[in-house]
Structure 1
């Protein structure tokens, strides 16, 4: 099970994180993505959300992402959290528009 929100900024992200927590997701089940890697890291730290890593992607997936372009890397991470290929493309396009994507997953 997963829930996805597309927001404009950190304030809206914080509000939606509260919504996800109220729905039963723990902080370590909530992931935040922005197309700009620095923005993504900053918002992840500020909102105390998780990063997609070895556990979600496996060793080979994590190593493979080191050599991918940012958009490919993001789509791969979305799919590792349970989104379909089409959904991953859709949400990566939102990131291209400067939006922030939040995913709560019990995956």
Structure 2
């Protein structure tokens, strides 16, 4: 089961990440998404948090993301963390509105 938090900014994202760590998640189990690539990179770098990559998506999906529009890429990343296509679409709409999503996914 994933824990998903939708926040407004980096300060709130940091607060949620700290809370998830206190709940027993490791930093390797916490991911952050933002629609704007620059904002996303700035937040993942400053908060020292994971990007959803080959480990989570697999080689084919990761490669396919190179050719996808940003919204399609984000939905694919959300689905790779276990969300249904409908859930991924709903959260991608939050990203479209400038929100930041923090996802904690327990390792198997």
- Once the two structures are TM-superposed, the CA of residue 28 in structure 1 deviates from its matched residue by 1.1
Matching of residue 59 in structure 1 with residue 40 in structure 2? no
Q: Superposition RMSD on alpha carbons, in Å?
A: 0.7
d(CA) in 2 for partners of 1:47, 1:54: 20
d(CA) in 2 for partners of 1:61, 1:31: 17
TM-score, with structure 2 as normaliser: 0.96
Counterparts of 1:1-107 in structure 2, within 5 Å, are: 1-107=1-107
Q: Spell out structure 1 runs of 4+ moving beyond 4 A.
A: none
d(CA) in 1 for partners of 2:42, 2:29: 18
d(CA) in 1 for partners of 2:100, 2:51: 14
- Once the two structures are TM-superposed, the CA of residue 56 in structure 1 deviates from its matched residue by 0.5
d(CA) in 1 for partners of 2:41, 2:22: 24
Counting matched residue pairs gives 107
